[in-house]
């Protein structure tokens, strides 16, 4: 049984939906004839699925949809938009507002039930297939925002229903040239993994003593303050560290170095998912092409993440996908609030849940779902 909210100003349609969804399917159904009232109901008691008409008194269904997506408590609610118009532009508008599906009026109840059941089944599958294991974010070209994505992704996983149990994720900075994970979280990177390198016999207790804790509860394994000259961490030590962390945490998010040395290769071997980050600039795209070729053996677990780090128009995503011969899994939009967040040591995922970057990172977290440690 699911909790379903129907918002529509047609009284007869509301009652018909109640009959079909409640009596025939056994769902718990709440009704509202007004956009503002329906939004208030949803925020007070988040539904599993919302069916929302576009044209209503007060605020439109599109605005209700956008506000549901912007609120952390309802961001994952399945949403079907209803509209009397059936043009492609109307469907596009519904999806852009954040709807999962779109139905034109008059609504056929059998079709509505089919769409409802499909969305609810998808929701159950997502709840079962939660992210676990090691997620490595990588770019062989600096300045594309890998660290920012790693910080916001780990923060998102640590404070959402995506990770079981809540809070059981860790962020690891394996950058050997003075990584900035701790800086972006407003933490002093002491202790850091240099203690692991110096350990005679590495074990879980030693690793635990090197971990930092952010005020949000997110755990962090920081990189040394000063760059490492030569080999940073031996391959075997990287593997042992990650295995210890996998036993302790549901998800291990790794910010990797921008070189394919032995340590980075060991991380990629242990990873359940690899996120290759690039921007729309020609040098970044060229580097990504070479990286995809170099990582061909891990193609099945590799995701391309297109990160927009500058404002203004961007090249068409389709053109970039054709060049890479791979479709980006997620596009992270430019967010002007990000610069201030970095300066304050307050990642947007923790302090601005309605930002466009936060929403996109949440989509990335969903896309990186894996099923085994």
d(CA 336, CA 216): 23
Give residue 275's pLDDT.
Answer: 96
Confidence of residue 129 (pLDDT cuts 50, 70, 90): very low
133-367 shares the fold of 3-128:
yes
CATH of domain 3-128: 3.40.50.2300
d(CA 365, CA 371): 13
Strands 302-307 and 330-332: parallel
- The answer on pLDDT for 165 being more than 70 is no
Q: What is the DSSP string of 204-219?
A: HHHHHHT-EE-TTS-E
For residue 221, the SS3 value is: strand
d(CA 184, CA 348): 10
Query: For the chain, what is the mean pLDDT?
Result: 87
pLDDT in tens, 28-49: 999 999 999 999 999 999 999 9
Give residue 130's pLDDT.
Answer: 46
pLDDT in tens, 279-334: 999 999 999 999 999 999 999 899 999 999 988 888 898 899 999 999 999 999 99
Domain ranges of the chain: 3-128, 133-367
The residues near 103 (Cβ < 8 Å, ≥ 6 apart) are 80, 81, 82, 83, 111, 112, 115
Strands 219-221 and 212-213: antiparallel
Burial zone of 215 (CB within 10 Å; 0-12 exposed, 13-18 middle, 19+ buried)? exposed
Task: Answer yes or no: pTM beyond 0.75.
Answer: no
The residues near 294 (Cβ < 8 Å, ≥ 6 apart) are 260
- Say which residue the tokens 């921007």 belong to: 279
Burial 150-179 (b: 16+ CB within 10 A, else e): bbbbbbbbbbbebbeeebbbbbbbbbbbeb
CATH of domain 133-367: 3.40.50.300
- The answer on pLDDT for 132 being more than 70 is no
- The answer on pLDDT for 120 being more than 80 is yes
Q: Helix 35-44 crosses helix 61-70 at what angle (to 10 degrees)? A: 20
- The answer on pLDDT for 232 being more than 50 is yes
pLDDT in tens, 36-91: 999 999 999 999 999 999 988 889 999 999 888 877 678 778 999 998 877 778 88
């Amino acid at each position: 049984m699911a909790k379903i909210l129907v918002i529509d100003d047609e009284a007869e349609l509301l009652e018909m939906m109640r009959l079909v969804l409640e009596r025939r399917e056994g769902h718990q159904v709440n009704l509202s004839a007004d956009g503002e009232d329906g939004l208030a109901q949803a925020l007070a008691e988040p539904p599993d699925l919302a069916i929302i008409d576009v044209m209503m008194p007060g605020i439109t269904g599109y605005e209700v949809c956008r506000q549901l997506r912007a609120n952390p408590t309802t961001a994952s609610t399945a949403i079907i938009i209803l509209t009397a118009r059936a043009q492609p532009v109307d469907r596009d508008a519904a999806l852009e507002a954040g709807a999962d599906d779109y139905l034109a009026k008059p609504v056929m109840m059998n079709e509505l039930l089919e769409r409802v059941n499909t969305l609810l089944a998808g929701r159950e599958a997502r709840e079962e297939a939660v992210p676990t294991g090691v997620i490595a974010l990588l770019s062989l070209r600096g300045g594309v925002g890998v660290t920012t994505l790693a910080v916001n992704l780990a923060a998102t996983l640590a404070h959402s229903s995506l990770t079981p149990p809540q809070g059981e994720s860790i962020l690891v900075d394996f950058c050997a040239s003075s990584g900035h994970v701790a800086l972006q979280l407003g933490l002093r990177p002491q202790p850091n993994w240099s203690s692991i390198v110096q350990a005679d016999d590495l074990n879980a207790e030693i690793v635990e003593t090197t971990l930092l804790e952010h005020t949000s509860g997110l755990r962090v394994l920081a990189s040394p303050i000063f760059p490492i000259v030569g080999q940073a961490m031996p391959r075997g030590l990287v593997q042992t560290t990650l295995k210890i962390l996998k036993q302790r945490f549901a998800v291990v998010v790794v910010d990797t170095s921008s070189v394919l040395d032995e340590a980075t290769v060991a991380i990629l071997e242990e990873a359940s998912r690899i996120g290759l980050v690039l921007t729309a600039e020609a040098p970044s795209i060229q580097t990504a092409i070479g990286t995809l070729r170099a990582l061909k053996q891990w193609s099945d677990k590799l995701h391309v993440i297109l990160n927009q780090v500058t404002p203004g128009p961007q090249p068409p995503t389709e053109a970039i996908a054709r060049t890479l011969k791979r479709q980006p899994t997620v596009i992270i939009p430019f967010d002007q609030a990000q610069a201030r967040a970095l300066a304050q040591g307050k990642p947007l995922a923790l302090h601005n849940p309605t930002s466009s970057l936060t929403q996109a990172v949440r989509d990335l977290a969903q896309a990186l779902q894996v099923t085994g440690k």
